[in-house]
Amino acid sequence: MELTFPSEEWLQALVNELNSSDAYREAAKDWEGDFYFIIEPEDKTQDRVVAYMDLWHGQCRSACMITDEKDKSPEFKIRAPQAKWRKIFEKKLNPIQAMLTGQLKVSGNMMKIVKKPRSAVALVECCCNIPTTYLS
């Protein structure tokens, strides 16, 4: 069954994928940090969507969709239109390259992410394992 991105169901499937992935657990064993993953609207008919994830030593401790960005103060915020996220999840765009070239906008200590690229790549691999339908 395909899940719609972005949605609470898709996010929970990602949590399950991350927490059951030996590859992610190993790649992110030293990672500590939480994120807002922000899907920016591509036109005026779409809403901005924000997903929160608390990633800690190869596990996702919590994740949820956020309606008010003031609810949490994550270490990182990564934003892009859905088309960019889709390219990343379909392995047509490397996430680290997208960050370095500004295709993904990052707020937070970019060097921390760049120093641990394996954890970002392993996270994206887990995203790629989720059967996904996109809204646009």
Residue 62 resides in a domain: yes
Model pTM? Answer: 0.91
* In a domain? residue 124: yes
Is 136 domain-assigned? Answer: no
Distances (CA, A) of 28 to 75, 81, 113, 117, 124: 16, 26, 11, 9, 12
Residue 134 inside a domain? The answer is: no
Q: Does 136 score more than 70 pLDDT?
A: no
What is the average per-residue pLDDT within 117-123?
91
In a domain, 97, yes or no: yes
Number of domains comprising the chain: 1
Residue 18 is part of which domain span?
A: 3-129
- Residues 11-29 have pLDDT tens digits of 999 999 999 999 999 999 9
Query: What CATH number should be reported for the domain holding residue 77?
Result: 3.30.1050.10
Q: Is 10 helix (H, G, I), strand (E, B) or coil?
A: helix
